[in-house]
A and B are shown apart, each in its own frame.
Chain A
Amino acid sequence: MIHDSIIRPQLVTGDKTLHDVTTEICRPIENKPSTEWKVGFTLAVIFLGILGLTLTVTMLMGIGTWGLNKTVQWGWDITNFVFWVGIGHAGTLISAILLLFRQKWRMSINRSAEAMTIFAVMCAAVFPLFHQGRLWVGMYWVLPLPNAFGSLWVNFHSPLLWDVFAITTYFSVSLVFWYLGLIPDIATVRDRAKTAGRKFWYNFFSMGWTGSVRTWNRYEVVSLILAGISTPLVLSVHTIVSMDFATSVVPGWHTTIFPPYFVAGAIFSGFGMVLTLLVIARKVMNYQDYITIGHLEAMCKVVMLTGTMVGLAYITEFFVAAYSGVEYEQYAFINRATGPYWWAYWSMMTCNLIAPQVFWFKWARTTPWFIFMLSIVVNVGMWFERFVIIVTSLHREYLPSGWVMYSPTMVEIGIFLGTFGLFFTCFFLFAKFLPVINMSEVKSILKNRE
Chain B
Amino acid sequence: MIDSKLYLDKNKTVMFGIFENPDKFLETVGKVHGKGPNILDCYTPFPVHGIEKAMGLKRSLLPIGAFMFGCLGFVTAFLLQFYMMRYDWVMVIGNKPSIGVSWMPVLFELSVLFTAFGLAFLFFLRNKLLHGKMPSERIDLRQTDDRMIIAVATDNASIERSELTSMLFDGGAVEVKERTNHDYDDYTDVEVKRDNSNS
Binding site for B on A (CB under 8 A): 1-2, 17-19, 22, 144, 150-159, 161-162, 165-166, 168-169, 172-173, 176-177, 180, 183-184, 187-188, 190-192, 203-222, 225-226, 229, 232-233, 236, 240, 243, 439-441, 443-444
Contacts and interface: CB of A to CB of B under 8 A. Distances in A.
B88 interface: yes
A225 B44 contact: no
15 contacts: A156-B84, A157-B93, A168-B109, A172-B116, A180-B120, A183-B129, A191-B144, A203-B132, A210-B136, A213-B57, A218-B127, A222-B120, A225-B63, A225-B66, A225-B119
A440 B106 contact: no
A156 B143 contact: no
B116 A236 contact: no
B154 interface: no
Contacts of B43: 210-213
B47 A240 contact: no
Contact of B133 (A159, A188, A207): A207
B128 A232 contact: no
A208 B127 CA distance: 9
B184 interface: no
B109 A150 contact: no
Contacts of A220: 47
How big is chain B's contact interface, by range? Answer: 35 or more
The 9 A-B residue pairs with the shortest CB-CB distance, nearest first, are A18-B146, A208-B133, A162-B105, A207-B129, A443-B46, A153-B84, A440-B46, A213-B42, A165-B109
B110 A169 contact: yes
Given A156-B84, A444-B49, A172 B141 contact: no
B129 A208 contact: yes
A209 B123 contact: no
Given A183-B129, A236-B109, A157 B145 contact: no
Contacts of B50: 1
Contact of A207 (B112, B130, B145): B130
A243 B51 CA distance: 46
Nearest to A217: B52
A208 B134 contact: yes
A184 B52 contact: no
B80 interface: yes
Contact of A221 (B62, B93, B132, B138): B62
Interface string B135-174: 1111001111110000000000000000000000000000
Interface of B: 3, 23, 41-52, 55, 57, 60, 62-63, 66, 70, 80-81, 84-85, 88-89, 91, 93-94, 96, 100, 102-103, 105-106, 108-110, 112-113, 115-117, 119-120, 123-124, 126-138, 141-146
A165 B102 CA distance: 13
A232 B41 CA distance: 35
A223 to B, nearest CB: 9
B45 A156 contact: no
Contacts of A226: 116, 119
Contacts of B132: 203-204, 207
A176 B116 contact: yes
B141 A232 contact: no
Given A211-B143, A232-B112, A165 B106 contact: yes
B188 to A, nearest CB: 19
B145 A217 contact: no
B135 to A, nearest CB: 5
B42 A218 contact: no
Given A173-B116, A180-B120, A166 B145 contact: no
Contacts of A208: 128-130, 133-136
B56 to A, nearest CB: 11
B127 A156 contact: no
Contacts of B109: 162, 165-166, 168-169, 233, 236
Given A214-B3, A214-B57, A229-B116, A18 B145 contact: yes
A443 B131 contact: no
B46 to A, nearest CB: 4
Nearest to A444: B46
